[in-house]
Every structure is written in C-alpha cells, then in structure tokens.
Structure 1
Amino acid sequence: MTMTEQLPSPTTTRREILAFATDHDRAISDWAALFDRDPVANPYQHPDYVLAELRSKPIGRAIHPVVLRDGSEQECDAIGVLVPKTIRTNQVGGIGPGWSLQGLRLVGGSFLTADQSLETQSSLLSAAVAHSAKAGADFLLIEDLDEQSNLSHAALMPGVHNFQRFPVREIQARWRIDFPENEQDYWNRFSGRTRYAFRTRLKKIGAMELERITTVEQLPAFLAAAHEISKQSWQSRQFGLRIKNDETEKQLLSILAQHGFLRSYLMRIEGKPAAFAICHQHAGGFRYEEIAYCAEFSLLSPGETMLQQIIVDLFQHQKPNWFDFGGGDAEYKRKFGTNSGRSQTLWLVPRTWRAGSALSYLNTCRSVRSSVRSAIDACGLSTKVRQWLRYGHHSAQAATPAASTTANSVDQADSSDQIGR
C-alpha cells in the first residue's frame, strides 16, 4: 500500500487514506492485528479475504479501494476498508432504464477498532464520507447496520456530517439465538406439540444426512452440490444464480477454511443433495449467510429441517455464543430466534452535484412507486400484481402445488434473505 493522502485529525494520532498498491505492507499487518483484536469482526473483513475478493474483480475501476487508518507509527487504533461498489438505479427503486452509480462500500458494515465510542465512530465515518466525496463516489454503502451500534447513531445524527442519507433497505428485524449452556434448555422453549412436529418431519424425510463443511478438501464437492441445488431453487429464479461454482467462490471459501472460519452445511435426502447453507463462525459468533434448497423437496420443509439440524450440531460441536440470522424478518427466524434487534442498509450520499442528482431521482421514483402501490391496494389488485411481477406470463403455471409451496414460502423457514457478502 502507498499513502495517497493524509486527513487532519483533532487528536494526536495520524489519519491516513492508503491505496491498495501492494499486499506486502505494514498496513496489512496492522489490519490483521486489529481484526484479531476486534471481538465482533466479521470474517469477510479479514485482509486475506478482502484482497482475494478485489483480485477477482475487473481492473481499471474509476474509484479505487482504500484503507482508512487511524493511529501512530507504532500502533494502529482503527481501520476502515472501503471497496468499489457499482449499483444500477433500477436495483434500488429507479424507474425505467437504469444507469450505473459508482460508490464505495464499508467492508463488513463496520470499522475495525476496539474503541466503539460514539465520538470515535463519528470521526471515522466523517473521514470515510469525506474521502468518498473527494474520490467522486456517488454513495458510501453501509450494509445491515445494527440500530443499537454507535456507528448507526453516528450515521443518523442530524446535521453533524456532510452527507444525506438514503435507506436502501428500511429498518427491519434482525434475529439472533443466544445459546444457553444446556442444549435441552433451548429446545424446552418450544411447546411439546412443536417438538413432536420436528420429530414427525424427520421421520417423514427418511434417510437424511447433514455434512459439516469446514476444510478446503471438502469444498469442490460441496460447491458442485450447492451449484446444482441453487439452479433448482426459488432464490435463483428470483435473484439470479446464487452459487456459480467458479474459481472465485472456491478461492474465497478456501480462505475462510484456511483461517478456521468456514462452517457451512450440506443436507442430503436419500443420498441426493437437497439443501445447503454457507455460514461461518468466528469469535463466538455463527453467521447464516446464504441458504437454498431444491424445489423437488419443498413439501418436506427442507429449509427448516436443515436449520433445526444445524442448531443441534452447533450445540454438540464447538458451540458458539450466538447465532446471527442477518437482517430481515421471517417466521422461521421468529420461531428459532431468542431475541431480536433492528438493522438497515444505508447509503451516505456526499453533497456533490452528481450524487445529489441521483439521490433526488431515486427519491422521486420512490414517491411514484408509493402512489401507484396505494392505488393498486385501493383497487384490491395487490395479490394479482405481486404474482405477475414474480412469475410474469407464467403466473398460471405457478399456481401448481409444488410451485406455490416453493415460491410463496408456506413454510417460511425456507425463505432466504438476499444477504450481500
């Protein structure tokens, strides 16, 4: 890395914006050390993972990745990693032909630092937005921002920072499981009728196997199976193919495995791959990142069954302290979760002419969509319109029992939020 600019700081420490020029630099060591010290660091923030992700992207971006570093020559106090992010306007509510907006994303949705105070988070956030404006970025993206965090408080402080806020995703529930010491204490939360339903479902499935994926050697077979499941899942029909089984995916998951973070699962029914979950575990936390199931097994509730068996495995092997479902509400999260907070995904938009114009356009589109939605609801056509948007001219065929069960998620455990990595 090479220093590209220094930002003034009111403290005695020095704040630097460092460009990714080489992988062999003291800043990488500082970054790795802070990752190890941060009790809530996300494995996706590890320097090996981020650098590999950047190598897999096309060269020649107008906006470059940077590291925001706070500290002295001897000791680093905080790191914020900003990487390029391109989003089409029609992905965030724009109407008509979309165009690309170029921004920056705060990796992991947080700064790596032991100091989580509001003052420090506010100062780091101001520096990140200032750099975004200077670099010509249309936005600074912070994903799945916990409402209770001081970073969230800093982002929502009125009139303090020189940016405007655009909620890409409105505030929504964020469910967790806090694991008790005793496994039975957790299952006793469920009624006897629900526990009986769990046992009945397992018997109905028949021969079922859950494989825990933690090593590099397991990845080729796992990704091949996950790819086939993904092609047959409702998630791919709605969001596009989620698991491509390409070299980039293999490399990124291999890095998680090499550092001991990978803890994914593959469920087979009668020997056939039926569902998968890409997950990771670090510093006492287990995170549910990407799940899908084969539509062929939808009547057997494979999503909820796999989740139930994953929880059993977590209790019995290297039990974490907590299980994070990620942002978004769903019946299965309410069923298995023990507590919830709230989170949202935000754009912090610099006060530049280009960024402000894009923000005005998107806010106008949202107002138009809201008016149209209200008119459709008033006419009692909301259900038919939702079906048409999901299935298009195939809506009639989608009414078959199997398709209806899959797409409408009668068993909400089999719904998966589109959680960005």
Structure 2
Amino acid sequence: MTPLAAEAVPLRFQIGARTLGSIARRLVRFPLSLDTVLDGPLPILPPLARGADGYAVTSLPEHGLASLRRAAGGMIGYVRQRYPRHYADLTIGFAAYQAALSGNTRSGLKRKTKRVIALSGGALDVRRFRTADELGAFHAVARGISQRTYQERLLGGGLPDDPAFVRTMTALAAAGQVRAWLLYIAGEPAAYLYCPIEGGTVRYDHVGHDPAFNDLSPGGVLMLEAMRDLYAEPGLTRFDFTEGDGQHKRSFATAGVACVDVLLLRPTLANRATIAALEAFDRGALWAKHGVTRLGLERVARRLRR
C-alpha cells in the first residue's frame, strides 16, 4: 500500500472559539464518511511515510477504537474528542421529520420564523442556488456574511474564497451535486448554507449567519427551509451533519452514532510530550467547564469564548 502524504496539522489548545496555542505535527488525515460510520468496514491505515508523525482519524465509530489501536501496533493513541455523528434520514418525508424534532425546537422555530416574516414584509425570503451561474452569485453574497462570523474571525472556518474552492464548487454545480441557500431579512443577507451531495448524502459543509441577526436565529430558520426543500427532492437518503457536536446539529438531526477523533502517533519523545500536553490541557478544560456549570456562569463563558 502506498503511503499517503502527511501534512502539518496544528493540534490546538482551544476553549470554545478561542485558540490559546498549538503544536504542529505531520499527520495523515483520515476522515471517515457517514457511509463508513454507519455501514463500515473500518479503515485500514496505510503505511506512514518517512517524516510523518502519525494519523488523525476523525469520526471513528467508538466501537472500532480498540480494533484500530490494535492495528496501529506500538503507536501511542489519544482520543481528543467524543461526540455523536449526527444525521437526518431524508427518506421519511418532511411531515415525519418535523414530528421527530423536539417540541421545543418546533415551537421555537415557528416563533422565530414568524418574527423573520414580519420583519421581511410578510414573506420568508429564502433564495435557492444549484447551477454554476447561481452558485457564483451565492458565493459573492455568502462570503460577505462569512467575513462577519466568529467562525471565520476566530477559527478560520468560514466559507472559503480561494480559487481551488471556487473551481470545485463550480464543477459540483455543473454536475448537479451541490445545493445552497441564502436567507434575507428585511432585504439584508442574514444567513447562508452550502451543501455538496455525494451518492444521495447531503453534507453540511459551510454555514454561517450575520451576528447582527443573532436574536432571530437565522441559521435555524434557514435550516428548516433547506430541509423542507431536500425532503421534496427525490433520490436523497441522508443529511450528514459531519464531525463534532453542537446544539444546532442535535436540534435538526434524527439519529446519531457515537464517534471519536483519535490521534495515533509514533512513540517518539516529542510525540509523547505532545500527547501529555494535550491530555493535561483537555483535562483542565473539562474541569473548568464543570466549574462554570456548577456556578451557573454558562452565558458569561460563551461571551468570553467568542
């Protein structure tokens, strides 16, 4: 088996959206698709090239962790994150999907949608994009929103604007393999959603909203309308909320699989020190989170993290 290329990956010491520092290791990224997470088989790791420190495996089903560690031999492993890989079943119909959402989610979305409609002159202004020309127009507006989001300012996780991304977006649109949406409120672009499609699975790749509209939850209002569209489209099977957890994903998913993000590193002195530092930081962050919860300071902590 040919070794895969390793790249410099910053292993972040991060609290919420704030990165306090990082250690770079040369890793082979190994993200698992939702199909692999649900149906297997578990991955066979390729050999490491000389100079590579190890692997970063993301969305590994938790039940496969022991097997992966055995297959990795003498490498040192560390679970950096545990979360459900959330997804929605797109075959059940929109009415059944709405019924699967919690009562609080349904009532909250109904109330906020009414507020958005009232501010927008009596109609919900959602614009839909799927052709190459349409996606070009979408990208120009969505980039303007993305630049104002904390995801881009603090995490570097906004909608990309590099030529490689634009070429890929255009090619996917020409093949009918991407859907995108914009929500306008009172004539102003407020939220965007960009979703590639592969083999019937719609992927939650890029999302953001203008913080000026935070009180209206524009991301949630747009998400529900996007799901309405997807349930009306034949041939789609799942909506993949991708790696990581979050209230938004929990609210809109119909199911999830327990997953882990795991580092597997060569047992060098530098890598052992890296694992020890990450473990100490993560343990301290967890202790601090529990303390914040006990003291009822979650709202203050959210403001500080951003």
TM-score (norm 1): 0.60
Secondary structure, aligned partner of 1:143: strand
1:90: how far off?
Answer: 4.4
Whole-angstrom distance in 2 between the partners of 1:312 and 1:388: 32
Q: Which one scores higher on RCO, CA 8 angstroms, separation ≥ 6?
A: 2
For residues 316-366 of structure 1, the C-alpha deviation after alignment (integer angstroms, 9 at most, x for no partner) is: 123521211123333333332221111222222134xxxx22322223223
- After superposition, the CA RMSD in angstroms is 3.6
Does the aligned pair in 1 maintain the 2:159–2:207 contact within 8 Å?
A: no
Residues 1:358 and 2:274 aligned together: no
| 332 and 101 in structure 1: CA distance in 2 versus 1, 3 angstrom threshold | closer
Residues 53-132 of structure 1: matches in 2 within 5 Å? 82-90=4-12, 100-106=24-30, 116-117=40-41, 121=43, 124-125=44-45, 128=46, 131-132=47-48
**Correspondence for 1:56:** none
Whole-angstrom distance in 2 between the partners of 1:283 and 1:254: 18
Residues 41-56 of structure 1: matches in 2 within 5 Å? none
| 388 and 111 in structure 1: CA distance in 2 versus 1, 3 angstrom threshold | closer
Residues 1:165 and 2:74 aligned together: no
How many matched pairs?
Answer: 293
TM-score (norm 2): 0.79
Secondary structure, aligned partner of 1:327: coil
The gaps in structure 1 that reach 5 residues or longer are: 1-15, 18-65, 67-81, 392-421
Letter in 2 for 1:261: Q
**Correspondence for 2:68:** 155
**Correspondence for 1:178:** 89
Whole-angstrom distance in 1 between the partners of 2:25 and 2:114: 51
Letter in 2 for 1:145: L
**Correspondence for 2:54:** 139
Whole-angstrom distance in 2 between the partners of 1:181 and 1:88: 40
Secondary structure, aligned partner of 1:326: coil
Secondary structure, aligned partner of 2:100: coil
1:104: how far off?
Answer: 1.9
For residues 51-74 of structure 1, the C-alpha deviation after alignment (integer angstroms, 9 at most, x for no partner) is: xxxxxxxxxxxxxxx5xxxxxxxx
Letter in 2 for 1:84: A
Letter in 2 for 1:214: R
**Correspondence for 1:332:** 248
Whole-angstrom distance in 1 between the partners of 2:54 and 2:220: 37
The share of aligned pairs that are identical, in percent, is 24
Residues 1:274 and 2:274 aligned together: no
Whole-angstrom distance in 2 between the partners of 1:259 and 1:324: 20
1:299: how far off?
Answer: 1.0
Residues 248-287 of structure 1: matches in 2 within 5 Å? 248-287=164-203
